């Protein structure tokens, strides 16, 4: 599979596009004035504890307080030498933290809509190959590394490195250490590690460098945390371009093209230290066309904002995002098939499964997602569609859990959401319809005006009334509803004049008493 990453950098924003076989799969956008907060660590202050919700609101210096659930709390996380606590928190939250208390928290979800940032005290610091978890006394291996021998090699490499460091430290003190008497949890009492997918087949030496790098970062975080008055930021994750090199670039990437000379130079320096084997694949793009015009990426971004997604067969999807969930409706549309109705439905659902998996990544849809596949009578067809969906989401970097296909053809899935969707980044609520995706007809507004006129003349004296409204509404009042206007004038005994206000939306109007 041919895979490329295109990076477009301007003073206002950075856009990263992941392209597979010439087709856009993912878009990541970070604006200079509104950088994401996921991964950042804050020293905050507990502003409110809610026993009924087993949660607390934490002031971390943002417009809205962050949300911390009791299940995301590890005790004593402000002390670097604290004892690891991996067990689930069973105490009531009011017994764990108190209002006014200082607390070290990490952002796991950006503020989305009206909700504040989601927080955790289970801190983690990622690098290229491993993630350091201070409150974790074990070693986790990415599930995407399936080879058992490779998993064991990586685990033993980390244990031997940690053991070697501790043995050296003890030897300097004039003592002797017996390696076989030291347990894994004892070796990792100051923090555990999660091995990332990128570490597969990577040399022990490169992994050791990552471990030492992360330990230095953690030490600096502890120093800064002690010297910071809450609320304050004590650690900031890498900017989008560097996160891309750390998290998205892997051995299958053919090219990384960057259209900014300055950013290209920074990325090259970064790569020399962390991914030297991929250095030759990083290019400075000097083409005559904008970089995101390659593979029609710019057009694909625009299309990803539409509700309707066309399928090659003639069918289509309708994608609707709400605050609670996202719904995806599958329709056959113009596709009539060549054999029978069941075969037509099956082929449409199969194509939809492939397209939906791509749209989830492209639009960065998260949370609860309900897919309404077209009803299939053949149970085996349903199983094949579900398998196709599961296979197609395997390349997704965000964790996705898929439920069974119900008798109604519905599939529920959850996709981890850390940042806002593409639509929420690029768009805002329509001021005309207020997010309803529909507006009142001009006829409905005319009748509202009639009722409002009756209401006004009953309360106030006036010799004349002036209706100020949009062009379409005024045209209807003077044309289709002219008889009704004449009857209303006769009923209230006052003349009614009309004035067009070009800036008014169809639902806006004013009634002025003269």
How far apart are the C-alpha atoms of 336 and 338, rounded to whole Å?
Answer: 7
How far apart are the C-alpha atoms of 286 and 261, rounded to whole Å?
Answer: 9
- DSSP letter (8 states) at residue 481: T
Angle between helices 482-492 and 442-459 (to 10 degrees): 10
Q: What is the pLDDT along the chain (514 residues), one digit of tens a residue?
A: 689 999 999 999 999 999 999 999 999 999 988 888 999 999 999 999 999 999 999 999 998 999 999 999 986 544 433 334 444 456 889 999 999 999 999 999 998 877 899 999 999 999 989 999 998 888 999 988 999 999 999 999 998 888 776 544 444 444 434 344 456 666 677 889 999 988 988 889 989 989 999 999 999 999 999 999 999 999 999 999 999 999 999 888 999 999 999 999 999 999 988 888 889 999 999 998 999 999 999 999 999 999 999 999 889 999 998 888 999 999 987 766 566 788 889 999 999 999 999 999 999 999 999 999 988 888 899 899 999 999 999 988 888 999 877 777 789 999 988 888 999 889 888 888 887 778 999 999 999 999 999 999 999 888 999 999 999 999 999 999 999 999 999 999 999 999 999 999 999 999 999 8
What pLDDT, on a 0 to 100 scale, did the predictor assign at position 183?
65
Tokens of 88: 């689930």
What pLDDT, on a 0 to 100 scale, did the predictor assign at position 495?
95
How far apart are the C-alpha atoms of 485 and 478, rounded to whole Å?
Answer: 8
How far apart are the C-alpha atoms of 407 and 387, rounded to whole Å?
Answer: 16
The structure's pTM equals 0.80
How far apart are the C-alpha atoms of 31 and 464, rounded to whole Å?
Answer: 53
- Measured between its terminal Cα atoms, the distance across the chain in Å is 73
Question: In sequence order, what DSSP letters do the residues of 358-425 get, joined into one string?
Answer: HHHHHHT--EEEEEEPPP-S-HHHHHHHHHHHHHHTTT-SS-EEEEEEPTTSEEEEEE---S--HHHH
What pLDDT, on a 0 to 100 scale, did the predictor assign at position 295?
92
How far apart are the C-alpha atoms of 246 and 330, rounded to whole Å?
Answer: 36
* Burial letters 54-78, b for 16+ CB under 10 A, else e: bbbbbbbebeebbbbbbebbbeebe
How far apart are the C-alpha atoms of 412 and 371, rounded to whole Å?
Answer: 6
How far apart are the C-alpha atoms of 29 and 224, rounded to whole Å?
Answer: 29
pLDDT digits (tens, 9 = 90+) for 106-136: 999 998 877 899 999 999 999 989 999 998 8
Question: Domains plus CATH for the chain?
Answer: 3-35+239-299 (3.30.420.60), 73-232 (no CATH), 304-426 (no CATH), 442-513 (3.40.1260.20)
What pLDDT, on a 0 to 100 scale, did the predictor assign at position 164?
73
Do 141 and 167 meet the contact criterion of CB atoms below 8 Å apart? Answer: no
What pLDDT, on a 0 to 100 scale, did the predictor assign at position 452?
93
CB neighbourhood size of 300 (10 A):
17
What pLDDT, on a 0 to 100 scale, did the predictor assign at position 251?
83
CA atoms within 13 A on the CB side of 366: 16
């Amino acid at each position: 599979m041919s895979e490329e990453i295109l990076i477009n950098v301007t003073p206002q924003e950075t856009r990263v596009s992941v392209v597979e076989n010439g087709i856009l799969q993912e878009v990541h956008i970070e604006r200079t004035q509104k950088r994401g907060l996921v991964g950042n660590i804050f020293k905050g202050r507990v502003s409110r504890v809610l026993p009924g919700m087993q949660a607390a609101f934490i002031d971390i210096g943002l417009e809205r307080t962050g949300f911390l659930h009791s299940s995301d709390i590890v005790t004593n996380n402000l002390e670097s030498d604290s004892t690891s606590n991996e067990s689930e928190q069973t105490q009531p939250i009011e017994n764990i933290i108190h209002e006014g208390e200082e607390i070290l928290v990490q952002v796991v979800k950006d503020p989305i809509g009206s909700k504040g940032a989601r927080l955790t005290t289970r801190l983690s610091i990622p690098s290229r190959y491993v993630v350091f978890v201070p409150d974790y006394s074990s070693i986790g291996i990415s599930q995407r590394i399936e080879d058992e021998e490779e998993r064991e090699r990586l685990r033993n490499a980390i244990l031997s490195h940690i053991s070697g460091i501790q043995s050296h430290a003890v030897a300097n003190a004039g003592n002797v250490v017996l390696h076989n008497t030291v347990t894994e949890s004892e070796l990792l009492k100051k923090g555990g590690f999660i091995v990332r997918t990128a570490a597969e087949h990577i040399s022990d030496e490169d992994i050791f460098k990552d471990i030492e790098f992360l330990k230095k970062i953690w030490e600096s975080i502890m120093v800064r945390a002690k010297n910071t008055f809450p609320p304050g930021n004590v650690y900031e994750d890498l900017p989008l371009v560097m996160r891309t090199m750390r998290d998205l670039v892997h051995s299958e990437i053919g090219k990384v093209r960057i259209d900014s000379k300055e950013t290209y130079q920074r990325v090259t320096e970064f790569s020399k230290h962390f991914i030297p084997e991929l250095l030759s694949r990083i290019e400075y793009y000097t083409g005559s066309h904008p970089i995101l015009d390659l593979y029609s990426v710019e057009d694909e971004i625009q299309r990803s904002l539409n509700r309707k997604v066309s399928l090659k067969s003639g069918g289509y999807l309708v994608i609707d995002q709400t605050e609670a969930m996202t719904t995806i409706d599958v329709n056959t549309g113009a596709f009539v098939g060549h054999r029978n109705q069941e075969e037509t439905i099956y082929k449409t659902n199969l194509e939809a499964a492939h397209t939906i998996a791509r749209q989830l990544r492209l639009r960065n849809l998260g949370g609860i997602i309900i897919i309404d596949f077209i009803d299939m009578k053949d149970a085996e067809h349903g199983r094949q569609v579900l398998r196709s969906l599961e296979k197609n989401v395997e390349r997704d970097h965000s964790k996705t859990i898929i439920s069974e296909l119900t008798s109604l053809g519905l599939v529920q899935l959850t996709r981890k959401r850390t940042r806002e969707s593409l639509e929420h980044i690029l768009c805002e609520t329509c001021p005309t319809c207020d997010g309803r995706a529909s507006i009142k007809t001009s006829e409905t507004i005319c009748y509202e005006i009639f009722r409002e006129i009756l209401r006004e003349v009953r309360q106030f004296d006036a010799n004349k009334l002036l209706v100020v409204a949009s062009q379409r509404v005024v045209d209807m009042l003077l044309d289709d509803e002219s008889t009704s206007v004449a009857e209303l004038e006769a009923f209230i005994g006052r003349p009614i004049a009309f004035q067009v206000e070009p800036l008014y939306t169809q639902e806006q109007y004013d009634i002025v008493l003269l």
